[in-house]
Amino acid sequence: MKKIKKKINLKSDVMNQATGQSWIYSGIVKDHFFNPRNLLLKDPRAGEFDAVGEVGNPACGDVMKMWVKVDKKNDRITDLKWRTFGCGSAIAATSMFSEMIKEGRGMKIDQALKIRPQDIIARLGGLPERKIHCSVLADKAFRKAMNDYFRSSGQPQRIIVESGRVIDKRLNITDKDIEEAVLEGARNLADVQKKLKVGVGDKEAIPEIEQLIRFYVEKYYG
């Protein structure tokens, strides 16, 4: 009998950007998934870390919790532990992020805050586009932990303000909502409107919406 080969049409949003392969994780991603670094399965002892940050909601998706220890004299991160309720990409991305933070004697705080999701993805050897939002979890949890540290250490001037700016006043949709839509796979106005209905009743907002979409697509997908 002849074997019949079916041709499967694969969309670009399930492609690994670095390798061009479809839903094929790099060996680095697999290693960090099966052997996650700096994972903390039990809550730490009181006072063991200087700060904690948590983002996400287990009821509707991924959640990330991160603990950070700081060398206050040198403003350097000496330890970072994490725990996540999420997919393999979220585990691998956070594991890699934790290694990047702790390399050498540990990163200076300001240097660590400059790490972008693209930097994590590059170190992983790429991720499928639909999974890029997983690398953002680590970044957001870390920023929240750092804000916790800045407050507790009396450095309010260093607190990172992430409040959203309202773009569509009728629906009260912010730039952060548009960013999340892009991270979830939207690439153009039509895609974003399917998720948010943004600009449908506020036509004057459309030029700014399109500008934001281009900005976030470039930011996360290069």
d(CA 166, CA 123): 34
The CATH superfamily of 166-221 is: BFD-like [2Fe-2S]-binding domain (1.10.10.1100)
Per-residue pLDDT 10s for the chain (222 aa) are: 444 443 434 444 456 556 666 657 889 999 999 999 999 999 999 999 999 998 876 654 678 899 999 999 999 999 999 998 878 888 999 999 999 999 999 999 999 999 988 899 899 998 877 777 667 788 889 998 999 999 999 998 998 877 788 898 887 788 988 988 888 788 999 999 988 888 988 889 999 999 999 999 988 877
Domain ranges of the chain: 22-158, 166-221
- Residues with active-site annotation: 60, 134
CATH number given to 22-158: 3.90.1010.10
Torsion angles phi and psi, residue 55, rounded to 5: -135, 160
Q: b/e string for 178-217 if b means 16 or more Cβ within 10 A?
A: bbbbbbeebbeeeebbeebebbeebeebbeebeebbeebe
State the residue for tokens 């002892």.
45
State the residue for tokens 């479809």.
22
